[in-house]
Structure 1
Amino acid sequence: MFTGLVTDLGTVRAIVPAGTATDLRLEIATAWNTAAIEFGASVACSGCCLTVVERGEGWMAFNASGETLSKTTLGRWRPGTRVNLERSLKVGDELGGHFVSGHVDGVGVAALAEPDGGSVRWRFRPPPALMQFIAAKGSVAVDGVSLTVNDVDADGFGVNIIPHTAAVTSFGALRPGDPVNLEVDMLARYVARILGQTAAAGARGA
């Protein structure tokens, strides 16, 4: 479990095959004290929860399955790609963002960026199936960053990125057309599931 508050902007330093033709080993450089990170620890890497399989001074390694690579942006990473990093939430930690599971729901596209006062208004186009879970003033994780949805239209949503967020996350290098990992608010997901089951039960009973 995570909060969507990025604590380091890492960099992919190596990508090599791992075990099978579809799996990859991802090595990410970080400013964290990696000696304090246990093997098997969970780390959100641009919104995708991965397990630490090896570490050294200033770097961590993760294995990503073919399934993960096909359902996230990780398959597009290259050495030099910037990665938003967050360690898992501990009981008693401050919850400054929102509950983020690290399970990517889909890959969206950064559609447009426009200046908006002292920030930048970004618009994203998610897969159509995710639009029902996105609501104005609700929460969404974009590449692992917890954001408040400012507006929603037929095929996308807008968020504002302040200069601090752009400086400490991959938003500083994001360009229109880039793919992004999206995770919808888990509360919205469960509410939609319950309402769907209730509607289906009502239809059967009619």
Structure 2
Amino acid sequence: MFTGLVQAIGTIERSPGGVRLRWRAGTGGWGPDSLELGESVAVDGVCLTVAERLHDGFRAAVSDETLRRSTLAGRADRRAAVNLEPALRLADRLGGHLVSGHVDGLGTVQAITRESGSWRLEVAWMDSTYGRYVCDKASVAVNGISLTVAGCSPDGACFWVAVIPHTWEETTLQSLRAGDGVNLEADLLAKYTERLLGSARHSQPLDGAWLAEHGWQA
């Protein structure tokens, strides 16, 4: 589990059986020296497992499913920059929102506009059905970065966020251009809520009795 608060920037490249991540010098206070075998690291919002420690990073295996649902393959081929975040510890502050590192789908950058004190980043889901998880002031992870939805289309398939200078400068968002692909993960709580309410509709009506049975106290 992660929070969507990027701790460092690295470079991703192909490696036998997976990918190799290298830390970029001078990015963040968290580095490869603190890595442990088997731990999870979010790479552009994708949860990967450290399979081998290296002096400047780590190697990780990547499944076909992960490559299909994320931008990692293309970024590794270009040796592109990626956002890195260590897994959340139970004692850590939850500064962003709950991010699983399991990418729901891809998005496309529609536009990036400089505004007074921020940047407006507009994104569209490639699979518009995920728009049902997006609403005004909802949380969304874009390339592993916890961001707040500032506005969206009626179906949520297109949305925009305001990126503050710190986030812009300390992540790879500044390298994005219109037309680029991004990894998107919808709010975890929204997905679980949909699942629970969907199950409830098939078993009994969503009324006062159902709420009381599931712990609701007025």
Superposition TM-score, scaled by structure 2 size: 0.85
Give the aligned partner of residue 26 of structure 1: 19
- Mean CA deviation greater in 133-142 or 112-121: 112-121
Task: Using the TM superposition, give the Cα deviation of residue 202 of structure 1 relative to its aligned residue in structure 2, in angstroms.
Answer: 5.7
Give the 3-state SS of the residue equivalent to 1:68 in structure 2: helix
Give the aligned partner of residue 111 of structure 1: 110
Deviations 1:43-63 (A, max 9, x none): 000000000011221121111
Structure 2 Cα separation of the partners of residues 112 and 36 of structure 1: 37
Structure 2 Cα separation of the partners of residues 108 and 79 of structure 1: 19
Of the candidates 189, 193, 202, which is equivalent to residue 187 of structure 1?
A: 189
Which aligned pairs between 1:3-152 and structure 2 lie closer than 5 A?
3-12=3-12, 14-18=13-17, 25-30=18-23, 31=25, 32-77=30-75, 78-126=77-125, 127-152=127-152
Task: Using the TM superposition, give the Cα deviation of residue 180 of structure 1 relative to its aligned residue in structure 2, in angstroms.
Answer: 0.5
Give the aligned partner of residue 173 of structure 1: 175
For 2:167, give the aligned amino acid.
T
Contact map agreement 1:140 1:148 (CA 8 A) in 2: yes
CA RMSD of aligned residues (A): 1.5
Structure 2 Cα separation of the partners of residues 33 and 119 of structure 1: 28
Task: Using the TM superposition, give the Cα deviation of residue 86 of structure 1 relative to its aligned residue in structure 2, in angstroms.
Answer: 0.2
For 2:132, give the aligned amino acid.
Q
Structure 1 Cα separation of the partners of residues 78 and 58 of structure 2: 14
For 1:69, give the aligned amino acid.
L
Structure 2 Cα separation of the partners of residues 145 and 60 of structure 1: 21
For 1:182, give the aligned amino acid.
L
For 1:159, give the aligned amino acid.
V
Give the 3-state SS of the residue equivalent to 1:70 in structure 2: helix
**Structure 1 residue ranges without an equivalent (≥5):** 19-24
For 2:149, give the aligned amino acid.
V
**Structure 2 residue ranges without an equivalent (≥5):** 206-218
Contact map agreement 2:71 2:183 (CA 8 A) in 1: yes
Structure 2 Cα separation of the partners of residues 33 and 120 of structure 1: 28
Give the 3-state SS of the residue equivalent to 1:189 in structure 2: helix
Structure 1 Cα separation of the partners of residues 4 and 167 of structure 2: 12
Deviations 1:102-154 (A, max 9, x none): 11000111111112211111111012111001111010000000000010104
Superposition TM-score, scaled by structure 1 size: 0.90
